[in-house]
Structure 1
Amino acid sequence: MTASLHQTYEPPQDARALVLNWIRRARESQIRHYTMADRLTASGRKLGLAVIGITTATGTSAFLSLVATAISPQLRIVIGLTSIGAAVLASLQTFLRYSERAELHRRAGAQYGAVRRRLEAIHAADPYLHDMRDIEGVRDELDQIAQNAPHLPRGIVARG
């Protein structure tokens, strides 16, 4: 991706080249948003499993400390710290909103996919029948999606 940033930009010369350019960019955006959604889903799942594991261990340890009266002070400190860690992880899970953010990226990916398919239909049609109103409509739709889509970090590379 870095190499393409340093190349000189040449605007499309005709409607066909413009449509092909938009198809490529819509496909890249679609895949990048789906990639980001997958990453967020995986991160949310990992954090959720950590919260479950730590809260389960903390709950079990707390229950055992109530049952067993001869629990050492060090073990009580470990149980307390584990409980604090579980609370921090649960708070992070809420604050980071992985599933909500993943859904926003999935929606943006689906919108880019719909526009890409429309562009492909325009491209497949007779090139002499390109109606600029259709192309302008797609341009407006791409602009709208770009304005509403969540931010993608530069490091997200399109797979596929």
Structure 2
Amino acid sequence: MRQPDRNIDPETLISQWKNGLRILHIANHRCASRYQARHQAIGISSVTLSVIVGTSIFATVSQAPIFWISIATGSISVANALLAALQTHLRYPERSEKHLQAAHQYGSLRRHLEEKSSAAKTPSKLVEVLAEIGPKWNEIDHSAPPIPQRVNNKVVREVKQA
């Protein structure tokens, strides 16, 4: 459960939380884009293989089937079925949507934290802001999909450099 650390200066903690929310916001957007691109790549590959199989079958209808063309067409057809199964099993559109929702929630929470913390004039008010934001952040964390470590590490490096 995310709660303000009483041993850290509230301004420092707010700065750390802003960075954390920024990282989560960006990383979830990256994951959403990544999964959408993968879905499209598999879909385009599947359609392309279907066209190749269909064209090969029609090209050989008027002739006696050539052995290697029959083998190639069968192999491509199996690869196409595998891609279709992967596309269904990996659920990239669903995963993309979940990351997009999480990105919007983290972004909204970060903006809310920025607004509230800029209006807070005393350390006690900053602690109140942290106490308000913490449970909301925990709620989002609970429903957000996991971010691959490689994506997270890359975003952390980018945010630190900025």
Calculate the TM-score normalised by the size of structure 1: 0.85
SS at match of 2:150: coil
Q: 2:138 aligns with which of 113, 134, 143?
A: 143
Residue from 41, 44, 48 that aligns with 1:46: 41
Please list, as runs of the form range in 1=range in 2, the aligned pairs for 1:119-158 lying within 5 A after superposition.
119-128=113-122, 130=125, 132-156=127-151, 157-158=154-155
RMSD of the TM alignment (CA)?
Answer: 2.0
Post-superposition Cα deviations, 1:99-133, rounded to whole Å, max 9, x if no partner, equal 11111111111100000001001221132171644
User: What are the residue-to-residue correspondences of 1:59-138 with 2, within 5 Å?
Assistant: 59-65=54-60, 67-128=61-122, 130=125, 132-138=127-133
AA at the equivalent of 1:71: P
Which residue identity does 2:95 align to in structure 1? R
User: SS of the residue aligned with 1:155?
Assistant: helix
Paired residues, what number? 150
Q: By how many angstroms is 1:12 displaced?
A: 6.1
Q: Is the 8 A contact 2:11 2:126 kept in 1?
A: no
